[in-house]
Homo-oligomer: A and B are copies of this chain.
């Protein structure tokens, strides 16, 4: 039943999706949807939660914390793109729909913040291993950029059904890790004085 909701929400968006359509798609009648899952808002939150936790679990399950940073990043990315490839509708709900709708944006932002924190922690760990340190805010921003780049590629993947998730993950590593590794080695870019 949640599957039907996710499907409809992903295609129509929260407001444009009608409970009638969701009910019809699920093969039951509207009062049943209300009986089992409450109001439209609660239904959407339920979708959000399910897809969100599924995704986080997929990533956490793949990126064991005792691996070296590049290995963790690679596995996490692979799991993430794999998830998006297999749950395109769920991803669309999370990324495209929930973002703009006021009541849910916070919910999503929290989840995203957790992800950013994990990435930032990974970078920090790797940095300390190299005997370096960066201001926490810089780390957070870099992590933010990496997460954003990844989400963007995921979106690209969602729109290209025949693309290979694994290959996309490799491409992402090429952009992300090469840059991050430079940073870890103390190489930085400075603006030209103009």
Measured CB to CB, the residues of A under 8 A from B are 11-16, 71, 74, 96-97, 99-102, 105, 138, 141-142, 144-153, 155-156, 166, 168-180, 182-183, 187-192
Contacts and interface: CB of A to CB of B under 8 A. Distances in A.
Contacts of A187: 178
Contacts of A15: 13-16
25 contacts: A12-B102, A13-B102, A14-B15, A15-B16, A16-B101, A74-B192, A96-B105, A100-B100, A138-B171, A141-B153, A142-B174, A144-B153, A144-B156, A145-B149, A145-B152, A145-B153, A145-B171, A145-B172, A145-B175, A148-B150, A149-B149, A177-B179, A178-B182, A178-B189, A182-B182
Nearest to A169: B191
A72 to B, nearest CB: 12
A156 B141 contact: yes
Given A13-B101, A74-B192, A180-B175, A144 B152 contact: yes
Contacts of A166: 191
